[in-house]
Amino acid sequence: MSLNIYFLRHGETTYSLTGGYCGIIDTDLTPEGAEMAQAFAQAYQSVPWTAVYCSPMGRTVATAKPLCEAIGLEMELREGLKEMSYGQWEGKTPEWVKEHYLEDYIHWMTEPAWNPPTGGETAVQVASRASLVISEIESKYSDGNILVVSHKSTIRIILCSLLGIDLGRYRDRLDLLVGGVSKVKFGIYGPMLQSLSDRSYLDERLQARRGT
């Protein structure tokens, strides 16, 4: 048996609807986001889970909770799985940022691996802290199914790190919708992406809520 890590992006929030920057803002799920969490629990509770790792943010905890309650596992909260910090851009729209921090915005859009949002984190910094969690999982478990509940940028950056994709291209190479499930199998040749942002467990009404 191999080690399989499932990466689940949290359910819908008001910020994922509007496209505003939400990194360290502790926002709640929308009613539809809560439905996504319940739907995930119902669809995936039959998987023989070994552990659940989760960002400590409210939206990720609320997403992981239905499954954890259904299978009787406690979630392991890890700071390294938090969303990228957007610094002075937190809670703002891209339009507002372009008006007030145009030069920083251009640099960030061009090369986010090394250029942060004003006062925020680079993709390299996010990868550094998140990789410690992945290393912890790999050191503890040689096989089994592990769920990691995190955020859009953080999951994409983790996947880039695992798959050998330039961190500066994390927005250009991988899309990740709200409630999307991505699976990575760790075999003798290293990590293999088996699914990306799968949302087939959602009904048509919830699948139509794609968010940003």
Q: What is the pLDDT of residues 11-23, one digit of tens each?
A: 999 999 888 999 9
Which residue is associated with the tokens 């961190």? 167
Which residue is associated with the tokens 């008001």? 14
Question: How many other C-beta atoms are found inside a 10 Å radius of the C-beta of residue 35?
Answer: 19
19 phi-psi bin (left φ>0, alpha ψ -120 to 50, beta other): left
Where does the pLDDT of residue 131 fall: very low under 50, low under 70, confident under 90, or very high at 90 and above?
very high
Share of the chain above pLDDT 90, in %: 96
Where does the pLDDT of residue 1 fall: very low under 50, low under 70, confident under 90, or very high at 90 and above?
confident
Q: Would 120 be classed as within a structural domain?
A: yes
What would the pLDDT profile of 194-211 be if each residue is shown by its tens digit? 999 999 999 999 999 988
Confidence check: pLDDT of 166 > 80? yes
Confidence check: pLDDT of 66 > 90? yes
**β pairing state of 49-54 and 144-150:** parallel
Mean pLDDT for the stretch of residues 96-113 = 97
Where does the pLDDT of residue 89 fall: very low under 50, low under 70, confident under 90, or very high at 90 and above?
very high
150 phi-psi bin (left φ>0, alpha ψ -120 to 50, beta other): beta
Mean residue pLDDT across the chain:
96
Q: Would 20 be classed as within a structural domain?
A: yes
Which residue is associated with the tokens 């709200």? 178
Q: How far is CA 179 from CA 98, 102, 110, 208, in A?
A: 28, 31, 27, 12
Mean pLDDT for the stretch of residues 170-176 = 95
Mean pLDDT for the stretch of residues 28-54 = 98
Q: What is the pTM of this model?
A: 0.97
pLDDT greater at residue 15 or residue 1: 15
Q: Which two tokens stand for residue 114?
A: 């090394």
Share of the chain above pLDDT 70, in %: 100
Q: Which two tokens stand for residue 162?
A: 């695992």
Q: Would 130 be classed as within a structural domain?
A: yes
Mean pLDDT for the stretch of residues 15-43 = 95
Q: How far is CA 49 from CA 96, 99, 100, in A?
A: 43, 46, 46
Q: How far is CA 52 from CA 6, 84, 106, in A?
A: 10, 21, 37
Where does the pLDDT of residue 212 fall: very low under 50, low under 70, confident under 90, or very high at 90 and above?
confident
Q: Would 196 be classed as within a structural domain?
A: yes
Question: What are the start-end ranges of the H helices in the chain?
Answer: 14-18, 31-44, 58-71, 94-100, 102-110, 123-140, 152-163, 170-173, 204-207
Number of domains making up the chain: 1
Q: Would 212 be classed as within a structural domain?
A: no
Q: Would 197 be classed as within a structural domain?
A: yes
CA–CA gap between residue 67 and residue 65 (Å, rounded)? 6
- 3 state SS of 155: helix
Q: Which two tokens stand for residue 139?
A: 């050191």
Selection from 131, 132, 111, 112 nearest residue 123 by Cα: 112
For residue 26, give its domain range.
3-207
What would the pLDDT profile of 181-194 be if each residue is shown by its tens digit? 999 999 999 999 99
Q: Would 10 be classed as within a structural domain?
A: yes
The CATH number that applies at residue 145 is 3.40.50.1240
The torsion angles phi and psi of 68, rounded to 5 degrees, stand at -60, -40
